[in-house]
Copies of this chain bind each other. A is one copy, B any other.
């Protein structure tokens, strides 16, 4: 008896962020200290007002939430978007999701039939690819490059990739994995193309609050949504802003009622997202601006440590990140994935430590691009980041490429 699994799963790409997890656990079992720069799992504390929701928990039993989202959480999100200046957002424009990942899946399912195309700007968040493959959507890559800080190419460069199968453009600002913040002018161009070519725009704004010195101010798709309610979509998540990755709190925002009806059907088919997590998330309006300012300042200091540290290593180059907490880094190696595996399997610092990175190729759709790049998530404290820089410097010197 031989029962093969489906082609769609056997050919699905493995998450670039998680694919080396097995090597890391083997190293840890050997007593090696592994510094995780591979995944955006922040070490910053979750706001106490959110932790207190758990500590004061009274509800029993733990019942399903409404499929659209727990009312208190949806209302808190409405207030939050109003405070950001988007007072036209109503509760019916919001569906809460199981992390940002589910919001992406829901968008792709609802906008695209099997085989339809979505324009993405590479490098892009690697799990976009895995999720697109699940829902049978083709990602068409518009290349951006380290030399131009991963900012958008010309309107024409984007438009020439649009076919009659293109349904949407998907982008992330501030960018994972690039740290790039699109300017108002870039956002204008995306909106203009979407209008002219009849496309949906999906804006992933999970890192909205992390904008550093030297970056343009953040321009949200929400500032276009009132004028273009039909084709603008905003995806959000509380994971990164409040260090809540393990609470699965994503948000789907649109003012297109037909679209929201479709998304709600998917939400109903899985009944509910987590009610405990949503009760925690509902406290977002009580998190002080000081908390967000301090976290932003901390990530900016880390950005500086990473940028200065890595650019001082021979052969390493990167664009100075403008926001989020990632950077795509070009390394003087022929194959970054092999180097990442070598770091986990073979390299040990004098303190028996190593660094885990995410291989760059998984963040590109174009074959061959990103092969000597890695994504770094600077989600460790400054001392640890300095140690990581020195480990990388040392490792690159002795790496037998």
Contacts and interface: CB of A to CB of B under 8 A. Distances in A.
Given A200-B3, A230-B1, A271-B127, A262 B10 contact: yes
A148 to B, nearest CB: 29
Interface string A34-77: 00000101111110101100111100111111110000000000
Contacts of A65: 246
Contacts of A200: 3
Contact of A62 (B17, B246, B266): B246
A1 B272 contact: no
A84 interface: no
Contacts of A14: 265, 268
A265 B130 contact: yes
B247 A99 contact: no
Interface string A248-279: 10000000101100100110111111111100
A268 B15 contact: yes
Interface in A1-48: 1, 3-10, 12, 14-15, 17-19, 21, 39, 41-46, 48
Given A246-B64, A247-B275, A268-B18, A231 B3 contact: yes
Nearest to A61: B243
A224 to B, nearest CB: 14
A114 B21 contact: no
A3 B271 CA distance: 27
B247 A274 contact: yes
Interface string A210-235: 00000000000000000000110000
B111 A114 contact: no
A3 B61 contact: no
Interface in A163-207: 167, 195, 198-200
Contacts of A130: 265, 268-269
A112 interface: yes
A113 interface: yes
Contacts of A317: none
Contacts of A42: 61
Interface string A297-323: 000000000000000000000000000
A54 to B, nearest CB: 4
Contact of A61 (B39, B44, B64, B265): B44
A146 interface: no
A382 interface: no
14 contacts: A1-B198, A15-B271, A18-B268, A46-B62, A50-B62, A51-B57, A61-B243, A61-B246, A62-B243, A101-B270, A130-B268, A131-B269, A246-B276, A274-B276
B60 A51 contact: yes
Contacts of A275: 246-247
A6 B113 contact: yes
Contact of A109 (B6, B39, B50, B270): B6
Nearest to A248: B274
A6 B247 contact: no
A243 B275 CA distance: 13
A292 interface: no
A371 interface: no
A134 interface: yes
A8 B98 CA distance: 21
